[in-house]
């Protein structure tokens, strides 16, 4: 097992140095820290064994008054013989007034690392804090405790100290608000009992590895159980600090609230799942409808092929006297009868020639009347004929008069059409069935030709647009859906007519109002013959998605943008400011005395006060400015594109304080509010991070509150 990290603190507990090391760990993940104050103070190491401290002590002898930054391991010439420092490191001197040396500190990072100008600026700020502590009270741990208490109590994230057995030792207000416990109740519990059962085993393994010295820290996302029993997602970072004795060994835990993000991710996943399921169902329904239509069309094509075959056979029969042929003379006696007639009716020619037609067939039948008619014009008629065995033959008769040697006669070509009638009946039934399926689909189903004119449309078109089938078949796609929707659909239509299957969403104006429609274009398998359209109404799904996105970015109580939406907007504005747009101002606002109002008059009244305060903030800013609620009674104003930033910020602050100074009645209670405002500016072209600007505004707000509340201060 590797040697355990050693902490050599100042006499007595030194939570300030622990806080300083934890701060380094948050800004530089994986960092290990060595602090060496001037005598008589003892050095403190975090994550470093005594053997690992030796090369740093040797390297510090070359330090002088300037900070040294090493991207990779320092050169061997700067180290004691045989010593090595793997990875990047920085050594920074500490000095008091008139350059009096106060010691130095070092930070080690794993692997190679370039210390950017902003990271060096942060290290300079941390160095200044440590110098102030050492200078104000050399050798006294009290000054360090003040730094630790300030960092611990004013942190915007939850922080806690815990014992190796899991008991809470301390918890700041941010963590207490997050979990819904006062600190007095929280320290009576341990973190194991407040961790969600599904997350406990994973953290216990990491915790045991930490205590065993197998790791210096760990980070994970888990659920904590609030006072009301509800789970709340946090991102947890835990660092082990070992002292000289077991009682000095403790753990530092930092909790970041990620519950809103987790809930939004879960809702978006559920919505995405529902959308995918809906699309899959609609696509499956379309596939079934298209498969049914293709099957019906295939059957019709097969029937048409059979009819063509029948027609060809009829032609061959006509050319080769294979068609049923009957001829009667002027006395109505049979004088013509070919083999096909024998086959059709069952009588051989020698048995029927010379006999009256009426001796074979019913005299009152349409067939006899047609063949014995004196009408000189050719006539075609479908009739039912009884053959020799009294079997009913469905026949098509083409009758015509002729003259043979001056003697009139009448002949007929007779075709058995029983099969054709059966096919026609089947086609009629198939077409009726397919039309019923399409008309009852909760979607628009249509076929258009290459000129984008309708060849077929189901009943939904009449319900959506109020046009009949007759009207629709005279219209183009643009005529029906209008220029606005057609402008979106036209490029997709062109691609689909070129053979590409695709889908897209667009709004349609219908009799029921505007609908958001998901359209699916399927090219006809035969090139150049048009395409099929399936369009489904997804208005409800679209509205649900929009509402969920709004809820994920807005505070449920006040309707203002929440921390997530505020952070995104601030990042955009900082990017614009870096590119040279106008000055950017951030106002951090804390409502004075809100906790007392909430405790004395109840949470419902407190909620009314927050909503009222939110409206007063909105009334005091310009269009385009952003008002957001971060948490509790903390609000922010974002003022972009300022021309005279100091004057305009003062005007906004004065206007807000004056507006709140007016006593108003709220829920039957006279109300006069005050607030403390901290303002921070970012000039054009300045490279500044979100956290830096927010910390500046937060610090200015606390200065205003310390000055007597109901005031504002500029960072």
CA separation for the pair 305, 398 (Å, rounded):
23
Task: Quick: pLDDT tens for 620-655.
Answer: 899 989 999 998 889 999 999 999 999 999 999 999
What local confidence, expressed as pLDDT, does residue 22 receive? 76
Tokens 């201060």 -> residue: 713
Q: Is the pLDDT reported for residue 10 higher than 80? A: no
- Among 300-304, 328-332, 516-520, 680-684, top mean pLDDT goes to 680-684
What local confidence, expressed as pLDDT, does residue 550 receive? 73
CA separation for the pair 443, 537 (Å, rounded):
7
pLDDT confidence band for 429 (50 / 70 / 90): confident
Task: Quick: pLDDT tens for 651-668.
Answer: 999 999 998 888 788 888
pLDDT confidence band for 246 (50 / 70 / 90): low
CA separation for the pair 59, 83 (Å, rounded):
10
Q: Which of 97-111, 187-201, 351-365 has the lowest mean pLDDT?
A: 97-111
What local confidence, expressed as pLDDT, does residue 2 receive? 35
Q: Which of 125-139, 184-198, 222-236, 549-563 has the lowest mean pLDDT?
A: 125-139
Question: Is 417:446 a contact under the CB 8 Å cutoff?
Answer: no
What local confidence, expressed as pLDDT, does residue 149 receive? 66
Percent of the chain residues past pLDDT 70, beyond the cut: 90
What local confidence, expressed as pLDDT, does residue 695 receive? 94
Q: Is the pLDDT reported for residue 470 higher than 70? A: yes
CA separation for the pair 694, 653 (Å, rounded):
17
What local confidence, expressed as pLDDT, does residue 182 receive? 92
**Beta-sheet pairing, 88-95 with 531-537:** unpaired
CA separation for the pair 107, 20 (Å, rounded):
11
Q: Is the pLDDT reported for residue 305 higher than 70? A: yes
Q: What predicted TM-score, i.e. pTM, was given to this entire model? A: 0.35
Give CA separation, 26 vs 16, 29, 131, 479, in Å: 15, 6, 20, 63
Give CA separation, 307 vs 38, 316, 421, 488, in Å: 109, 14, 11, 44
What local confidence, expressed as pLDDT, does residue 141 receive? 44
Say how many C-beta atoms besides its own lie within 10 A of residue 357's C-beta. Answer: 21
| DSSP codes, 431-462 | HHHHHHHHHTSSSEEEEE-TTSBEEEE-THHH
Give CA separation, 153 vs 56, 185, 234, 650, in Å: 33, 17, 19, 29
Q: Provide the token pair at 557.
A: 């109580």
**H helices present in 584-644, as ranges:** 594-601, 603-619
Task: Quick: pLDDT tens for 174-209.
Answer: 899 999 999 889 888 999 999 999 999 999 999 999
């Amino acid at each position: 097992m590797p040697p355990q990290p050693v902490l050599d603190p100042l006499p007595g507990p030194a939570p300030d140095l622990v806080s300083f090391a934890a701060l380094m760990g948050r800004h530089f993940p994986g960092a290990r820290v060595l602090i060496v104050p001037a005598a008589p103070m003892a050095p403190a190491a975090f994550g470093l064994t005594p053997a690992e401290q030796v090369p740093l002590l040797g390297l510090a002898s070359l330090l002088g008054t300037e900070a040294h930054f090493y991207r990779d391991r320092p050169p061997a010439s700067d180290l004691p013989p045989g010593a090595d420092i793997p990875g990047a490191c920085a050594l920074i001197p500490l000095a008091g007034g008139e350059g009096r040396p106060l010691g130095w500190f070092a930070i080690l990072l794993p692997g190679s690392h370039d210390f950017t100008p902003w990271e060096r600026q942060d290290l300079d700020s941390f160095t200044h804090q440590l110098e102030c502590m050492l200078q104000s009270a050399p050798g006294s741990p009290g000054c360090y405790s003040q730094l630790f208490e300030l960092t611990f109590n004013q942190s915007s994230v939850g922080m806690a100290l815990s014992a190796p057995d899991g008991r809470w030792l301390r918890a700041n207000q941010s963590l207490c608000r997050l979990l819904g416990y006062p600190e007095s109740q929280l320290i009576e519990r341990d973190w194991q009992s407040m961790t969600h059962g599904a997350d406990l085993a994973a953290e216990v393994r990491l915790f045991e590895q930490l205590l065993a010295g197998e790791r210096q820290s760990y980070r994970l996302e888990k659920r904590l159980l609030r006072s009301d029993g509800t789970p709340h997602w946090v991102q947890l970072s835990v660092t082990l600090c070992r002292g000289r004795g077991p009682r000095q060994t403790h753990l530092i835990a930092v909790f970041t609230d990620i519950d809103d993000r987790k809930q939004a991710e879960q809702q978006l996943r559920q919505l995405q799942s529902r959308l995918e399921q809906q699309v899959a169902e609609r696509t499956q329904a379309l596939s079934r409808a298209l498969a049914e239509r293709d099957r019906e069309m295939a059957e019709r094509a097969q029937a048409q092929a059979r009819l063509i075959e029948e027609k060809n056979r009829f032609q061959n029969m006509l050319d080769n006297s294979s068609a049923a042929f009957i001829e009667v003379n002027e006395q109505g006696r049979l004088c013509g009868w070919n083999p096909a007639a024998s086959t059709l009716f069952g009588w051989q020619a020698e048995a029927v020639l010379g006999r009256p037609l009426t001796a074979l067939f019913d005299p009152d039948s349409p067939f006899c009347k047609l063949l014995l008619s004196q009408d000189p014009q050719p006539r075609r008629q479908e009739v039912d004929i009884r053959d020799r065995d009294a079997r009913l033959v469905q026949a098509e008769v083409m009758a015509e008069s002729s003259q043979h040697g001056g003697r009139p006669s009448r002949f007929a070509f007779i075709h058995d059409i029983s099969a054709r009638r059966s096919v026609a009946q089947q086609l009629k039934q198939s077409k009726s069935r397919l039309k019923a399926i399409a008309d009852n689909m909760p979607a628009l189903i249509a076929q258009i030709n290459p000129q984008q004119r309708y060849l077929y449309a189901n009943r939904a078109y009449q319900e959506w647009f109020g046009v009949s089938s007759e009207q629709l078949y005279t219209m183009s796609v643009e005529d029906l859906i209008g220029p606005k929707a057609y402008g979106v659909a036209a490029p997709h239509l062109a691609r689909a007519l070129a053979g590409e299957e695709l889908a897209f969403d667009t709004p349609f104006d219908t009799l029921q109002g505007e609908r958001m429609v998901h359209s699916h274009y399927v090219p006809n398998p035969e090139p150049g013959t048009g395409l099929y359209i399936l369009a489904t109404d997804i208005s409800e799904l679209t509205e649900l998605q929009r509402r969920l996105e709004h809820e994920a970015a807005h505070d449920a109580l006040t309707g203002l943008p929440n921390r997530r939406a505020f952070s995104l907007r601030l990042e955009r504005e900082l990017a614009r400011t870096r590119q040279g747009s106008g000055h950017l101002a951030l106002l951090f606002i804390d409502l004075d005395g809100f906790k007392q109002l909430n405790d004395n008059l109840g949470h419902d009244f407190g909620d009314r006060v927050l909503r009222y305060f939110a409206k007063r903030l909105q009334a005091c800013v310009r269009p385009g400015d952003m008002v957001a609620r971060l948490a509790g009674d903390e609000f922010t104003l974002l003022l972009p594109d300022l021309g005279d930033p100091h004057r305009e910020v003062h005007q906004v602050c004065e206007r807000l304080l004056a507006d709140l100074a007016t006593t108003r009645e709220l829920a039957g209670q006279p109300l006069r509010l005050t607030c403390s405002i901290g303002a921070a500016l970012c000039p054009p072209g300045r490279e500044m991070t979100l956290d830096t600007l927010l910390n500046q505004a937060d610090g200015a707000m606390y200065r205003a509150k310390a000055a007597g509340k109901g005031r504002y201060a500029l960072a």
